[in-house]
């Protein structure tokens, strides 16, 4: 039992019909809910921490929470930095004991992204840590209006091959039409599977990563709205589209928004139904259960059971 890298789990998942879930963590209840689900489903697990999560929980807390989760569950876990924006934060996380870091140089020009990613790879690999990078920019809903404008930000397959060869990165996040958050599409959901296939064909040994992979299940949006929320027009990536992506080299599926919705729906419901309660444990317990149920749902329906440990 301990912190592990993604090396073995991706090698196993590559070219199979399942992927490993990477779930964002921000506090104790989220960590517990996710880990309880992974344990019950015997699924491999990546817990990821964004810069925002690091700031919110304070760096030492999340590392210790994940250590406690491993001790409590007996599971091996990957501790991953999500969207590290510069060398400094990647180095800090490597030094703090993370086993995987993402350097997100996608906002930079190609050559600059390569130089930055290479620098992180050199440092991380020297410390036994694996690196995820990103090429192409995730589409925003505003780009949905013009497909031309959107596809201009998608990952170019030949560039992906050159990028991986020149950086030595361990896995690559690609842009094929997903975006972060609860508002991914205005009209029909669309992912560029042809592009994904081309990328996978050119770099068949590189595990691909799908960011922005929440489905934004209507039931949870409806529950948030029913209990006083205001989340109109939310739409995510249909589950069958994630399953399709998994068939074309996607080994890591990033999920945050669906956890946020599940937790918030439950807190809202509880507080409205029990206006007399003010003990945080009373509403954080069902919220933690909601995280667990959502992660189990993902493992079964989107990650194909993560093929068991
Ligand atoms: O990539 C975005 C993740 O959902 C993390 O979001 O930066 O608000 O923690 P955050
Ligand atoms: P969602 O917003 O779709 O959950 O994506 C999360 C993500 O990509 C984290 O890096
Ligand atoms: Zn992301």
Question: HSE-up of 268 (CA within 13 Å, CB side)?
Answer: 17
Beta strands in the chain (DSSP E): 20-24, 45-50, 78-84, 100-103, 130-135, 171-174, 208-210, 250-255
Ligand 1 neighbour 260 (Cβ under 6 A) = no
Ligand 2 neighbour 290 (Cβ under 6 A) = no
How high does pLDDT run on average in the chain? 95
**Quick check: 211 pLDDT over 70?**
yes
Task: Name 59's Cβ contacts closer than 8 Å, sequence gap at least 6.
Answer: 92, 96
Selected catalytic residue, list 36, 72, 82, 279: 82
Q: What does the pLDDT read at residue 141?
A: 67
Q: What does the pLDDT read at residue 109?
A: 97
Q: Identify the CA nearest to 291 among candidates 56, 67, 69.
A: 69
Pocket of ligand 2, candidates 211, 220, 298: which has the most ligand atoms within 8 Å of its Cβ, to mutate? 211
Q: What does the pLDDT read at residue 151?
A: 74
CA of 280 to the centre of ligand 2 (A): 27
Q: What does the pLDDT read at residue 142?
A: 58
How far apart CA 253 and CA 215 sit, in angstroms, is 11
Share of the chain above pLDDT 90, in %: 92
Q: Identify the CA nearest to 236 among candidates 206, 273, 211.
A: 211
Architecture of domain 7-306: Alpha-Beta Barrel (3.20)
Ligand 1 neighbour 56 (Cβ under 6 A) = no
How far apart CA 43 and CA 221 sit, in angstroms, is 27
Tally Cβ neighbours within 10 Å of residue 158. Answer: 10
Average pLDDT over residues 32-56: 98
Residue 135's DSSP bridge partners are: 174
Task: Name 157's Cβ contacts closer than 8 Å, sequence gap at least 6.
Answer: 195, 198, 199, 201, 202
**Quick check: 1 pLDDT over 90?**
no
Ligand 1 neighbour 53 (Cβ under 6 A) = yes
CA of 27 to the centre of ligand 2 (A): 17
How far apart CA 42 and CA 38 sit, in angstroms, is 6
For residue 82, indicate whether it is catalytic: yes
Q: What does the pLDDT read at residue 225?
A: 98
Tally Cβ neighbours within 10 Å of residue 232. Answer: 8
CA of 53 to the centre of ligand 1 (A): 8
90-127 pLDDT, tens digit each: 999 999 999 999 999 999 999 999 999 999 999 999 99
**Quick check: 234 pLDDT over 80?**
yes
**Ligand that lies nearest to the alpha carbon of residue 255, given by its number in the listed order:** 2
Residue 79 burial class via C-beta count within 10 angstroms: exposed 0-12, middle 13-18, buried 19 and up: buried
Pairing of strands 208-210, 250-255: parallel
CA of 273 to the centre of ligand 2 (A): 30
Ligand 1 neighbour 180 (Cβ under 6 A) = yes
- Kindly indicate the confidence band of residue 261, based on its pLDDT and cuts at 50, 70 and 90: very high
């Amino acid at each position: 039992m301990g912190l592990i890298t993604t090396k073995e789990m991706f090698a196993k998942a590559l070219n199979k019909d399942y992927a490993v879930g990477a779930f964002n963590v921000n506090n104790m209840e989220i960590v517990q809910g996710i880990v309880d689900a992974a344990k019950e489903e015997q699924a491999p697990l990546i817990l990821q921490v964004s810069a925002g999560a690091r700031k919110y929980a304070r760096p030492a807390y999340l590392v210790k929470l994940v250590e406690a989760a491993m001790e409590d569950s007996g599971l091996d876990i990957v501790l991953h930095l999500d969207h590290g924006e510069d060398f400094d934060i990647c180095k800090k996380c490597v030094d703090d004991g993370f086993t995987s870091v993402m350097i997100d140089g996608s906002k930079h020009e190609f050559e600059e992204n390569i130089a930055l990613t290479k620098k992180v790879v050199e440092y991380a690999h020297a410390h036994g840590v694996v690196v995820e990078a990103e090429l192409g920019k995730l589409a925003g809903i505003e780009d949905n209006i013009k497909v031309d404008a959107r596809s201009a930000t998608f990952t170019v397959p030949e560039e992906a091959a050159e990028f991986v060869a020149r950086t030595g990165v361990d896995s690559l996040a690609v842009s094929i039409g997903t975006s972060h958050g609860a508002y991914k599409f205005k009209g029909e959901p669309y992912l560029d599977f042809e592009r994904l296939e081309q990328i996978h064909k050119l770099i068949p040994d590189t595990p691909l990563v799908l960011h922005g992979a929440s489905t934004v299940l209507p039931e949870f949006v409806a529950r948030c709205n029913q209990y006083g929320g205001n989340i109109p027009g939310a739409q995510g990536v249909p589950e069958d589209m994630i399953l399709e992506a998994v068939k074309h080299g996607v080994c890591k599926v990033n999920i945050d928004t669906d956890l946020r919705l599940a937790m918030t729906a439950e807190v809202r419901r509880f507080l409205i139904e029990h206006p007399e309660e003010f003990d945080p444990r009373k509403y954080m317990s069902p919220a933690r259960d909601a995280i667990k149920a959502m992660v189990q749902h993902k493992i079964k329906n989107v990650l194909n059971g993560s093929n068991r440990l």
